[in-house]
Each structure stands twice: as structure tokens, then as C-alpha cells.
Amino acid sequence: MAADKNQPNRITELFGIEYPIIQGGMIWCAGWELASAVSEAGGLGVIGSGSMYPEVLKDHISKCKAATSNPFAVNLPLLYPDIEKHVESIIELGVPIVFTSAGSPKKWTSKLKSHGITVAHVVSSAVFAAKSEAAGVDAVVCEGFEAGGHNGREETTTMCLIPSVVESVDIPVIAAGGLYDGKSMLAAMVLGAEGAQMGSRFVATKESSAHNEFKKIVVELGEGGTSLTLKELTPVRMIHNQFYRKVIEAYEAKATNEELAELLGRGRSKKGMFEGNIDEGELEIGQIASMLQKIQPAGKVVIEIVQQYTDTGGQKLGKRFEF
């Protein structure tokens, strides 16, 4: 059911934030420095726990709490092997908001909510948005084909996904995929979203824990510089670097799924994004990286987005667009 444009924005209300700008909780890039900077600036910072050992996550949560008194969140991939420990830390340390992804929200939503935690779930289709709502989540993030990293098999783009998801649920919808500035944020909200999640834009910030070599590649990337590949394993959007070309060669040699899995191996994304091995690592980023030109402080990014949104006239379109 499409949100009434004359009702207040439910995302700022739900999360207790000033602007409905959510920083994606990306593996290897989104630690406490980034999350706290975004939250301090009035958006919602999200710690990406998918690349953290349980002790590391605890440390990041504690440091984030110390760095900001504003709400922040943790992204929790539901297939994370040690998920019980992550959930325990989240509850114990009083994280107010959790974004779950990559798995069914049925198992953990009620536990998280019973501890007063607000839960949003990341989906790539209207069907899973409806299932997430039925599982009791408070909001969904709908992420289009153009987004970086792991992605849906249906390949539905943000432009098509937002109206479809908005129609399929009553809870508020946050859009993701291809969003990077105030105009794209407003476009997503015109399509019915009540908030915008941005990943790539926040990779290219000073506070992101991505390796500097990776950040440099991101801001130099041209249009068409990424592809969604490895669909037989888990679809993932990555930069066309040397490792990607090896994947393509494997496809051309008609590799089996086992051979592809072996080529991918373990730790490829850490190697690329965190350790800065830009040839041999897996470099996950969204298509919209081609529009990014510079590495900026995360707080400045939030302010710029809000400014452009306002300049474009966002606030004129109804109560849902005001913040």
C-alpha cells in the first residue's frame, strides 16, 4: 500500500533520526568510525557485522556508543555462522536498531523485537518484502540490481523494485541501489520510499574502513565498470579488476560451479576491500560508483545530500517528504 504523501515520514520517526538517510552496513567498510560519523550528522549509521568476529563487533558497538549519543544500527547477515554471539552482543550492549539481511527474517525478528530492538530487513523482491512484514519487521530495505555486493537473483532494478515493494507492504520502505545524492534520494521517495540507503557513497568517505587503494579505485571508476556475476553461487556485483577477469575466463572455459567456488575461495573480499589488493581481491561496489569523484568526510556527505534534496524541492512534495 503506497504511503500517503501527506502523512509524516515514518522512517525518521521509527529510527528517531533527523534525516531518512541510511548508510549501508557494508562488510569491511562500515565500522564504528563510519557509523558514528553518519549518526552524528543526523543520518543513521550502520555497523556491518558480516565481516567481524564476535569480539570485534562488540568493540565496534562500544566505540560507536561512545562516539555518538544518536541512534545507530548493526547490519546482521542472517547466514553469519556465529550469529548467536552477534545477537547476544547486540542485545547486551543495547543496540537500538538492527538491519537483517541475507536470510529469512523469521528466526530472529521476534527475539530482537522482544528486547525492544527495531528491525529492518533487506529484500530484493516484493514477495520477500511481504514475507518480512509477516515476520514482524518494522521496515524493509528494497535493494535493486545496481547495488554493490550481494544481490537478488531476479535482477529487479531500483526503479522497478520500489513501486512494487511499496505496493506489497504497509510498513515503511527504504530504497537502496543506485542512490548517492539528494536527487536520487528524492527520486526514490517520489517512487514511494520513505528513506534512502546508500552504500557506495559512504565507501568513499574518510571514515570508511575500506582500504585507501580500494577507495581510490571507487572514485576513479567509469560507467559500466562493475558487473553482477557468480550468479550460480551467490550473485555479487564487483569491479572489473584482474580477479573479475579471471572469473570471466573461467566462464568462457565453461567452468563448473565447483571450479567457480574454488576460484572465489575464502577471504577474497577482505583481500580486496580491506587489505587493498586491488588485483587479486574482490571489490564490491554499486554501479553508481561511476558518479563519485572524491573521498569526503561522512558527515559532509550527509549535509550535501540534504542540501541538494532541499534545493531540488523535495520538501515541497508533501509531509512524507519533509524532514
**Which CB atom, from 104 or from 312, has the smaller least distance to a copy of itself?**
312
Q: How far apart are CA 193 and CA 146, in angstroms?
A: 17
Judged by the rule CB under 8 A, the positions of this chain that interact with a copy of itself are 5, 125-127, 144-146, 153-161, 163-164, 167, 177-179, 181, 183-184, 186-188, 190-192, 223-224, 227-228, 254, 286-288, 290-291, 312-313, 316-318
In the complex, minimum distance from the CB of residue 182 to a copy of itself, in angstroms, rounded to a whole number? 9
**Which CB atom, from 35 or from 228, has the smaller least distance to a copy of itself?**
228
Report how far Cα 313 is from the mean position of its chain's Cα atoms. Answer: 26
Q: How far apart are CA 306 and CA 313, in angstroms?
A: 11
Q: How far apart are CA 91 and CA 260, in angstroms?
A: 38
In the complex, minimum distance from the CB of residue 145 to a copy of itself, in angstroms, rounded to a whole number? 6
| Of residues 106, 102, 97, the one with CA closest to residue 47 | 97
Report how far Cα 82 is from the mean position of its chain's Cα atoms. Answer: 21
In the complex, minimum distance from the CB of residue 314 to a copy of itself, in angstroms, rounded to a whole number? 9
In the complex, minimum distance from the CB of residue 155 to a copy of itself, in angstroms, rounded to a whole number? 7
**Which CB atom, from 45 or from 178, has the smaller least distance to a copy of itself?**
178
Q: How far apart are CA 57 and CA 31, in angstroms?
A: 9
Q: How far apart are CA 140 and CA 132, in angstroms?
A: 7
In the complex, minimum distance from the CB of residue 92 to a copy of itself, in angstroms, rounded to a whole number? 39
**Which CB atom, from 67 or from 291, has the smaller least distance to a copy of itself?**
291
Would strands 149-150 and 226-229 be described as parallel, antiparallel, or unpaired?
unpaired
Torsion sign over Cα 117, 120, 53, 273: negative
**Which CB atom, from 114 or from 293, has the smaller least distance to a copy of itself?**
293
CA angle 225, 43, 292 (to 5 degrees): 20
Q: Provide Rg for the chain, Cα atoms.
A: 18
- Residue 98 to residues 8, 86, 112, 144, 316: CA-CA distances in angstroms? 22, 11, 8, 20, 31
In the complex, minimum distance from the CB of residue 45 to a copy of itself, in angstroms, rounded to a whole number? 23
**Which CB atom, from 45 or from 286, has the smaller least distance to a copy of itself?**
286
In the complex, minimum distance from the CB of residue 104 to a copy of itself, in angstroms, rounded to a whole number? 18
In the complex, minimum distance from the CB of residue 130 to a copy of itself, in angstroms, rounded to a whole number? 11
CA atoms within 13 A on the CB side of 141: 28
**Which CB atom, from 97 or from 292, has the smaller least distance to a copy of itself?**
292
**Which CB atom, from 67 or from 159, has the smaller least distance to a copy of itself?**
159
| 3-state helix/strand/coil string of 233-299 | CCCEEEECCHHHHHHHHHHHCCCCHHHHHHHHCCCHHHHHHHCCCCCCCCCECCHHHHHCCCCECHH
**Which CB atom, from 27 or from 161, has the smaller least distance to a copy of itself?**
161
In the complex, minimum distance from the CB of residue 185 to a copy of itself, in angstroms, rounded to a whole number? 9
